[in-house]
Amino acid sequence: MISALFQLGVVLLIASFLVAWRRSQRRRNAQSWEQILMRLRHDWSAHTLSEHFLWRNDLVLDPEETWKQMQGPRGLVVMYQNARVMLELADFAVKNSDERNPIDPMVIAALRSDAMQIRLLVIAALAQYAFMHATAGVRTNTHRAAALYTEMAATMTTLLQQHAALILPDFVAAM
């Protein structure tokens, strides 16, 4: 009897999760460019990491300087959230791209990969920071995440420049 109730509870829990996930996917797909851009966090900017941020990946700081420029965990949290938003911006660009000038699927795959790597590196760095503070491992993960973040931002800029030039200024201003 208890086993059957437990199984029913697990099935109901999974079903409610799937319904909520599907709703969030519909809501996300119905968002406009402006709604997605508004979700970018502006309380920290990666401009401090690179002179040519958004135009090319030229992160030249060492891990210690990167940690200081990012303001520690604050910059990590912003990168974590903005990586997800940039991925949604890329999906929006794909969904609304011109059929005569399609977006290369390899570029989108690279953006997705970068976003996942950034998020994993940030989680690892924040977990290490929570237990050991700013050790060499935390600074190294932070540096790797920052390098990927600047690369992802430069790739997004190039993608928008080639396929959605009208919305590029909004992206540059938001970053």
Cβ burial of 146 (10 Å; 0-12, 13-18, 19+) is buried
Question: Count of CB atoms within 10 A of residue 132's CB?
Answer: 11
Q: What are the residue ranges spanned by the domains of the chain?
A: 1-30, 32-174
pLDDT tens track, the chain, 175 positions: 678 888 888 888 898 888 888 888 787 777 887 888 888 887 777 777 766 666 666 677 788 888 888 888 888 899 899 888 888 888 887 787 777 777 788 888 888 889 999 999 999 888 888 887 777 888 888 888 888 888 888 888 888 777 777 777 777 777 7
